[in-house]
Amino acid sequence: MKLTQITDFKLGRSIQGFFICKEKHLRFTRNGDLYLDLLLSDATGVIQGKMWDLVDEFQDRFNGGDPVAVKGKVGEFNELQQLTVTQINLASSHQYGKYGFSPELLLKSVDEPLDELWSRLLKILKSIKKPLRDLVSAIINEYAEKIRTMPASVNHHHPVRGGFLKHLVTTGEMASDLLRHYPALNSDLILVGIILHDIGKVKSINDDLIPSHTDVGKLIGHIVIGRDIVMEAARASGNIPQETLIKLEHIILSHQGSPEKGSAILPKFPEALFVHYIDQLDGRITLILDAIEKDPNTNWTGYQSIFKSELYKK
């Protein structure tokens, strides 16, 4: 069974492979015939898919969000590749493992090995003095498996496998490099704030192949969830000075900068402002690089709503 990834699709070529069905819609043609309108993805890309024939036979075999085994032919519509699907079934390791199927292989991941990123995170952690180091260690060890693999967001910056861990490492290393220029700041408080500012996402983002927000994530939000995780761990340790704990709580609640952007409050001391801007810098640079990479145009991207402009690509 020769498998083809989306990045290797060629016009007119028949393919078979494993993908994630990101979207599934049952629609009608102008003649009133049913067809399936699909959005398929793997670790290398995304493609629109249409299933025109045998819809009744295949439509109940899978749902949106499922991994699927697909056969089809690559075509083109409006100058973009489109896959005409001839067969599609739910993919499972039990049924398709012998053909090389693994759900993790369908997910776009960060470039760096996760073990390497984890080691870099632990190096940052070791630079923090006790008792704050023990507080962070207790929290990241409790949620280690999820921290290593989860995305940093559902559809914003670093929305890929390992994106959360990469964001922590990048911002932590950036902060470590910059702090020598600001000796008056409390470096331990900043590094703890950076590692824990988004910790609520371990409960606000689910573990589905296509991650989405949990009920508690939608109702409470990752900022307040994260504050509660840290406060509970601090109470259990019993040795974090109250003034330090209040500052750490403020950093978490203010790290998105303003209530308009989701924070409970504005940053009100230097360390909180530092964490906010480091977080923003990594997030925004990642977003602009992704927008440029994914845009099909040559010199300028199309209009990017998040930046309220076209972006220069050269």
What tens digit of pLDDT does each residue of 9-38 get? 999 999 999 999 999 999 999 999 999 999
Classify residue 282: in a domain, yes or no: yes
Are residues 11 and 98 both part of a single domain?
Answer: yes
Kindly state the tokens that stand for 5.
């990834």
Classify residue 188: in a domain, yes or no: yes
Backbone angles phi, psi at 207, to 5 degrees: -100, 15
Asked if the model's pLDDT at residue 150 lies above 90, the reply is yes
Nearest residue to 103 via CA among 93, 94, 112:
93
Instruction: Please write the tens of the pLDDT for every residue from 88-105.
Output: 999 998 888 888 888 878
Query: What is this structure's pTM?
Result: 0.83
Which region holds residue 94: left if phi is over 0, alpha if psi is between -120 and 50, else beta? alpha
Classify residue 313: in a domain, yes or no: no
Backbone angles phi, psi at 309, to 5 degrees: -170, 165
Are residues 266 and 220 both part of a single domain?
Answer: yes
Q: Which pLDDT belongs to residue 97?
A: 87
Nearest residue to 202 via CA among 210, 192, 211:
211
3-state secondary structure of 154: coil
Are residues 94 and 123 both part of a single domain?
Answer: no
Q: Which pLDDT belongs to residue 56?
A: 92
Peptide bond into 131 cis (omega under 30): yes
Are residues 215 and 125 both part of a single domain?
Answer: yes
Classify residue 167: in a domain, yes or no: yes
Q: State which residues form the domain around 230.
A: 114-294
Q: Which pLDDT belongs to residue 1?
A: 63
Classify residue 122: in a domain, yes or no: yes
Helix (H) or strand (E) holding 279: helix 270-294
Q: What is the CATH number of the domain that holds 35?
A: 2.40.50.140
Are residues 28 and 142 both part of a single domain?
Answer: no
Are residues 76 and 143 both part of a single domain?
Answer: no
Last residue of a domain, one of 106, 135, 166: 106
Are residues 283 and 152 both part of a single domain?
Answer: yes
Are residues 155 and 80 both part of a single domain?
Answer: no
Q: What is the CATH number of the domain that holds 240?
A: 1.10.3210
Rounded distance between C-alpha atoms, residue 191 and residue 11, angstroms: 50
Q: Where are the alpha helices (H) located in 67-220, listed in sequence order?
A: 93-96, 114-126, 132-142, 144-149, 163-178, 187-196, 201-204, 215-219
Are residues 174 and 258 both part of a single domain?
Answer: yes
- Torsion angle (degrees, nearest 10) of CA 113, 115, 121, 123: -120
- How many residues are present in the chain? 314
Instruction: Please write the tens of the pLDDT for every residue from 207-226.
Output: 888 889 999 999 999 999 99
Instruction: Please write the tens of the pLDDT for every residue from 253-301.
Output: 999 988 888 888 999 999 999 999 999 999 999 999 988 987 878 899 9
- Domain total of the chain: 2
The average confidence (pLDDT) of the chain is: 93
